[in-house]
Amino acid sequence: DVKVTQSSRYLVKRTGEKVFLECVQDMDHENMFWYRQDPGLGLRLIYFSYDVKMKEKGDIPEGYSVSREKKERFSLILESASTNQTSMYLCASSLVRYNEQFFGPGTRLTVL
């Protein structure tokens, strides 16, 4: 079974802090994704990566950056956290770009 893990289930940070969300997958998938999930808005793509050191912006990249130094790990960085970044963050991976995505358990981030 594919396993996608995220470093924290719950995280509380203060405004202005730098925040790192880590995601690791164990099935050698090429593609990895970071989404933000908010009620009534579904999942919105922040960034995705189709290969090591490669990244592409999604719909809402402002205020975020990503890093993919190794194939299995995809990190989301909030350079200076703000209260409007309070949300559920989901990481996913897929073998083929437009095929099934496997999701991590999510990180619920609260920015105070």
Q: Where does this chain bind other proteins (CB under 8 A)?
A: 33, 35, 40-43, 45, 48, 56, 58, 90, 92, 98-101, 103-106
Residue with tokens 């079974």: 1
CB of 83 to other proteins, least distance (A): 22
CA 112/CA 109 separation, integer angstroms: 10
Smallest distance from other proteins to CB 21, Å: 16
* Placement of tokens 């991976």 in the chain: 93
Residue type for position 29: H
Closest CB to other proteins among 17 and 59?
59
